[in-house]
Every structure is written in structure tokens, then in C-alpha cells.
């Protein structure tokens, strides 16, 4: 491999990747789910506030991540079959799309249903649009479906990385691992 070849993502890209993955998972777990009446029950306030706060954080991180990706150098891709390259880029593109679509459909759903976004500490972001309740309900339903889709797609993404590592024995998985973890792996710990 030429000395100038880059085999790993930089630290900032790795931080964006792992924090986003963790926040998406926690947001999914704390998603209040169910009917509008259930979501907005006072007993569900903490879950909803945490979910909405994490969703906005995911949206902000995804925005920063895309901007960073425009200026950061990506690792050189491994030599793989063309279909695998296309599948990998497609999944990556869909994940990025969902990182924006999931929070946007949630925001649209809440606002169109006539609810403010309520973040942790009770901070509220009021709707700048008028209520259109039925449209809000549809948007909220799409949000739920896209939330499920991002988890399934992220799981497929993780399985593909494990396949690359265990079967193809290439550097796809390790390219996103922090340096300290790669060093531990190389030492056999």
C-alpha cells in the first residue's frame, strides 16, 4: 500500500459516527410511540422530552457531519466487488437521508398536530406554522416508520462491517474504530 494511502477515518469523523449511532439508538429506545394521546400523556413527558432533544441533536450532528465530510479526506476504499461498492454507498446514502428525514418528520408531525417541541428542562419551540392535524398525524406515522427503518438499516450496516472484518478480512470495520481500540485489537487484547 502506498505511504500516502489513508486507511482510517479521522478522529472527528469517528466521533460524529459513534455519537450519532449512540444518540439514534437511545432516541429509539425512549421514543414514546403510540397514539397522539399516549405520546402527550404527562407521565410520558420525560421520555418525549428526551426523545425530542436527542432527535434535534441527531439532526444537528448530521448537518455538521455532512459539512465535515465535504472537507475531510475519506479512507481509500478496499478492493471489493462492484455490487458491494454500490450496495455500501446506497446504504450509506440512505442512512444520511434518514438522519435528516426522521427528525424533520417528527418536527412536522408535532407542529402540525398543534404541539410545540418540548426539550429537556422544559424548553419549548413553538410551531411557526398553523395546525393541520390530519397532516400532522400522517407525518408522525411516517416518522415512526422511518425510525424503524433507520434502526434496521443501521443493523444491516453493522452486519456488513462485521462481514467485512470476519469474512473478507479487510479494513472496512477497523477504518471507523478509534486508534486506541485498533491498537488493543492489534495487541490481541
CATH of the domain at 127: 1.20.950
Q: Is residue 6 part of a domain?
A: no
* Residue pair 188/24 in contact by the 8 Å Cβ criterion: no
Q: Is residue 70 part of a domain?
A: yes
* Residue pair 19/39 in contact by the 8 Å Cβ criterion: no
pLDDT mean over 124-137: 95
Q: Is residue 93 part of a domain?
A: yes
78 grid coordinates:
478496499
Q: Percent of the chain beyond pLDDT 90?
A: 75
1 falls in which pLDDT band (50, 70, 90)?
very low
Inter-helix orientation angle 133-163/82-113, to 10°: 150
Q: What is the predicted pLDDT for the residue at 37? A: 86
**Long-range pairs for 44-48 at CB < 8 Å and ≥24 separation?**
45/118, 48/118
Which tens digits make up the pLDDT trace of 59-82?
999 999 999 999 999 998 888 999
Q: Is residue 53 part of a domain?
A: yes
Q: What is the predicted pLDDT for the residue at 3? A: 45
What are the φ and ψ backbone dihedral angles of 124, each rounded to 5 degrees?
-115, 140
Q: Is residue 3 part of a domain?
A: no
By three-state DSSP, how is residue 117 classified? Answer: strand
Which tens digits make up the pLDDT trace of 27-67?
999 998 888 888 888 888 999 999 999 999 999 999 999 99
Nearest alpha-carbon partner for 132 in 117, 112, 109? 112
Q: Is residue 86 part of a domain?
A: yes
Per the structure, how many domains does the chain have? 1
List residues bridging with 124 in a β-sheet. 118
Which tens digits make up the pLDDT trace of 113-128?
999 999 999 899 999 9
Amino acid at each position: 500500500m502506498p505511504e500516502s494511502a489513508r486507511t482510517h477515518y479521522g478522529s472527528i469523523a469517528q466521533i460524529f459516527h459513534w455519537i450519532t449511532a449512540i444518540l439514534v439508538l437511545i432516541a429509539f429506545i425512549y421514543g414514546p410511540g403510540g397514539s397522539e394521546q399516549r405520546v402527550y400523556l404527562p407521565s410520558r413527558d420525560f421520555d418525549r422530552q428526551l426523545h425530542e432533544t436527542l432527535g434535534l441533536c441527531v439532526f444537528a450532528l448530521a448537518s455538521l457531519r455532512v459539512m465535515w465530510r465535504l472537507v475531510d479526506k475519506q479512507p481509500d476504499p478496499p478492493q471489493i466487488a462492484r455490487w458491494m461498492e454500490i450496495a455500501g454507498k446506497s446504504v450509506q446514502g440512505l442512512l444520511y437521508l434518514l438522519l435528516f428525514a426522521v427528525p424533520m418528520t417528527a418536527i412536522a408531525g408535532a407542529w402540525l398536530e398543534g404541539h410545540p417541541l418540548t426539550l429537556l428542562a422544559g424548553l419549548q419551540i413553538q410551531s411557526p406554522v398553523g395546525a393541520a392535524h390530519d397532516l400532522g398525524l400522517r407525518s408522525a406515522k411516517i416518522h415512526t416508520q422511518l425510525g424503524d427503518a433507520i434502526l434496521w438499516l443501521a443493523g444491516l450496516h453493522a452486519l456488513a462491517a462485521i462481514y467485512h472484518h470476519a469474512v473478507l478480512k479487510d479494513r472496512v470495520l477497523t477504518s471507523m474504530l478509534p486508534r486506541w481500540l485498533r491498537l488493543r485489537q492489534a495487541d490481541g487484547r
